Amino acid sequence: MNDTHSVIPAFVTLAAALCTLLVAQPAVALVCLLVVAAVWKWDGMRARNTAVNEAEANAQPGTEAYDAERVELLHGASTQTIRQLQGDMVQIRELIRSAVAELGSSFDGFHADAQTQKSLMDEAVRTLANGSSEAGAGRDGGDSVTISKFVRDTSSVLQGFVDNAITASKRGMDIVNMIDTMNTQMTEIFELLGDVKGIADQTNLLALNAAIEAARAGEAGRGFAVVADEVRKLSLNSAHFNEQIRAQVENAQSTMHSTRKLVGDSASMDMSMLLTHKSSIDGMMKHLSSLESSLNGLIGQTSGLTAQIAERSSNAVRALQFEDIVRQVAEHGEKELGRLENLVETGVARWSSHALDESVEQLRQAAAALREMQPRKPAHQATMSEGDIELF
């Protein structure tokens, strides 16, 4: 029984020693604790089972065969657990490696996309600036057609149209003034024609009187009668021409009246249509400028966000270097597990060769030797946010 009891504490002491060794190495320390706990529990269970099945056991307690069986069972269980843990470590390492590789390329993609987005935004800002500012339009030589330039042009065309219409109206009104003046002058012609008609009438009357006087003179007045008759004919002709002239001037006056109306009509343009166009263009300009300013604001914000995204993805890529540390920690843990296995093998071998009396002390020495052999700890960091990444 003494031997049996000394075996289990030997394992515990061994495990505890290893834990002490590895206490600054949390991952491996955890593994050790697990191993110790497993062995301890297994031993307890085994002890109980042994007690229950004592009658059936091949080996009796207190015998060497009994102890050998217990040691063999413990040996098998711890070796299996250690190998499983080693496998788990390898799997964790591999999983983290592939996930980190995937994350790294994703973040690189993020970064590249953010850069592309930023340059697109810069391009958009430049385009907008060209479209909105006079300086931009001038730099492009005015060749590029933008909406705001189009609206400006339309506005100036409309203003030119208004100015032309007013100038034309002014000229039309001047022409109408002249027509009115001519009309007045023609009215004066009518008065003159009236005077001419008076003269013709008087001449006619005069010729008639002359004819009467010629008839009274008898044979001596015969020649004078012919003259008087000719004068009367002339006066009638004169009256006739007078009428013709009056009729022609009346025609001219009527033509001038029509002309006046035509000129007046062409000078009269409804301004309300122009007003509608002008106000809609003004509204469009106002809308465009507000659109431009809000677009500029939005693009500025987006540009800032893009820069932020780029910076954050850079940070993320930097943070992914933790994979390196974790890998080294895991490798270290695997090595430690290997040592643990060796130690168990050594302990079992010594016990088998009846060297158990010294074995506890020797195990302590072996642990001390291990401590001497302890390689440099791979990493001190507990979290990634602890300062800069330490590469080794």
Partner 1 sequence: MSISTQTSGDGQTLTIRVQDRFDFNVHRDLRQAYEAAGKRFGNYVLDLRGTTYMDSAALGMLLQLREHAGGKRQAVRLTNAQPVIRDILAVANFDQLFTIE
Residues that bind partner 1 (CB under 8 A): 159, 162-163, 165-166, 168-174, 176-177, 180, 264-265, 267-272, 274-275, 278
To the nearest whole angstrom, how small is the minimum distance from the Cβ of residue 188 to partner 1? 18
Which of residues 188 and 270 has its CB atom nearest to partner 1 in the complex?
270
To the nearest whole angstrom, how small is the minimum distance from the Cβ of residue 132 to partner 1? 25
- Is 43:4 a contact under the CB 8 Å cutoff? no
How close are the terminal C-alpha atoms of the chain, in Å? 51
DSSP structure class, residue 60: P
Which of residues 50 and 183 has its CB atom nearest to partner 1 in the complex?
183
- Is 272:251 a contact under the CB 8 Å cutoff? no
The token duo for 186 is 């023609």
How large is the angle between the packed helices 322-352 and 26-52, nearest 10 degrees? 40
The whole-angstrom separation of Cα 172 and Cα 262 is 9
The whole-angstrom separation of Cα 367 and Cα 372 is 9
Long-range contacts of 99-105 (CB under 8 A, 24+ apart): 100/320, 100/322, 100/323, 103/316, 103/320, 104/317, 104/320
Q: How many H-runs (helices) and E-runs (strands) does the chain carry?
A: 9, 0
Which of residues 261 and 377 has its CB atom nearest to partner 1 in the complex?
261
DSSP 123-184: HHHHHHHHHH-HHHHHHTTT-S--HHHHHHHHHHHHHHHHHHHHHHHHHHHHHHHHHHHHHH
Which of residues 258 and 385 has its CB atom nearest to partner 1 in the complex?
258
Which of residues 274 and 284 has its CB atom nearest to partner 1 in the complex?
274
Which of residues 5 and 170 has its CB atom nearest to partner 1 in the complex?
170
DSSP 324-348: HHHHHHHHHHHHHHHHHHHHHHHHH
Q: What residue type is assigned to position 302 of the chain?
A: T
Which of residues 160 and 198 has its CB atom nearest to partner 1 in the complex?
160
DSSP structure class, residue 59: S
To the nearest whole angstrom, how small is the minimum distance from the Cβ of residue 279 to partner 1? 8
Quote the longest CA-to-CA distance of the chain: 207
- Is 296:148 a contact under the CB 8 Å cutoff? no
To the nearest whole angstrom, how small is the minimum distance from the Cβ of residue 203 to partner 1? 39
To the nearest whole angstrom, how small is the minimum distance from the Cβ of residue 246 to partner 1? 24
Which of residues 32 and 263 has its CB atom nearest to partner 1 in the complex?
263
The whole-angstrom separation of Cα 324 and Cα 322 is 5
The whole-angstrom separation of Cα 203 and Cα 230 is 11
- Which among 246, 245, 263 is positioned nearest to 180, based on CA atoms? 263
